Amino acid sequence: MNSNSLKISNENLKRRLNAERRFKFYGVIAISLALIFVLILFTNIISKGYSAFYRTLIEIKIEFNDKVQPEMFKQMSDTEINKLDLYSFSKKNIYSNFPDIEKKSDKKKIIKLFSIEFEEEIKTYINKNKNNLGNKINLYISASDDIDQIHKGNYSRDIPEERRRVSNFQLSIYDELVGQNKVKFEFNLPFFSRGDSREAELAGLGGSLIGSFFTMIIVLLLSFPFGLFGAIYLEEFSKRNRFTDFIEININNLAAVPSIVFGLLGLGILLNTFELPRSTALVGGITLSLMTLPTIIIATRASLRSVPPSIREGALAVGASKVQTVMHHVVPLALPGSITGTIIGIARALGETAPLLLIGMVAFIVDVPSSPLDPSTSLPVQAYLWNDSAERAYEEKTSAAIIILLSFLILFNLIAVFIRRKFETKW
């Protein structure tokens, strides 16, 4: 090689290396952009939503009297106490915490500082402590959603009074309470146990969590066995002909069908033809199973196909029948891949909203469902519902619901990755 040709090829090499460097640079930019967007999304949602995980409580003093004596609760069962009418007793006791206020309209405003269910909260306290009640007790009851928002700093006090939901008078009382150290934060456990409510401070995720749980159980029970055995049959037993080709094309198409179409199917067939109960996890689960099924079939077939033919031959050669070969050797090896696909499919179904809107899981449901046959909502639908509500306090709840939903999705995906890493067989 003469020196001239060496030089030319050197320039060529430089060009190639530069191209490589450029390519890497584009890749880094693309990934950084994606990460930045994810980061923005997460900071936005978390900063808006984290405050929903704690709630504001206000300390009040209760004095028993001749009519309502602490001793009378000792003989009563929980349900009996809950049936008592302590409304005016509770209200009067709250008023007596503010002896300076005498005007009736002001008293009404004071009551509005507290959650609308103050009577229930007082009863709950009595229930818990019925055996050692003194004549005077101090307890914390929930603040109303507006005070809650102000205490969390989500709601500006600088808005002119006529456009503010909390009047100047109420603010001065609130400031007084803060000054007396009677306002505190607590972990918002009811948020996870209660159903939806028109009162923002009472609205919780419990109903939709249970609804989503029932829905996912139905999806798992329906789509995993059908998907698994469908895939095994198609991949291992069916003969290749036009009919199976047709089925295969349709399964692939089905995986790409917009989810709302499945909602229409659920509405038309499950609700209108079979008259299954509307708004229930059962119908939601069946609808979402139809959507998850193709995903599971495709994932399972891919993992069945990746089992090397030599394993099948080895089993056949010692005299195993076709079914024995598939069930003893091929399916166990394909199962991790299939389970991974199922988890990812279920994670998708968990975040799905559109089909549920069509089958009525978007209703306002206060009771926490106790079976898949009870009306319920699901996590993403709950976020959608809260997002539509006017009160300020629903904003943090919307974000909090999304945080919970995202945590479940991340958890599911982690499990899927873990199963794939742990159980995949290397050849």
Which residues form the interface with other proteins (CB under 8 A)?
239-240, 308, 310-321, 324, 328-329, 333, 425
Sequence-distant (6+) residues with CB within 8 A of 195 are: 203, 204, 206, 207, 365, 366, 367, 368
Three-state secondary structure readout of 253-266: HHHCCCHHHHHHHH
d(CA 426, CA 143): 59
384-393 burial: b if 16+ Cβ within 10 Å, else e: bbbeebebbb
Q: Which two tokens stand for residue 376?
A: 């319920």
Nearer to other proteins, 321 or 371 (CB): 321
Torsion of CA 372, 377, 381, 383, to 10 degrees: -130
Contact between 211 and 361 (Cβ < 8 Å): yes
306-345 burial: b if 16+ Cβ within 10 Å, else e: ebeeeebeebeeeebeeeebbeebbbebbbbbbbbbbbbb
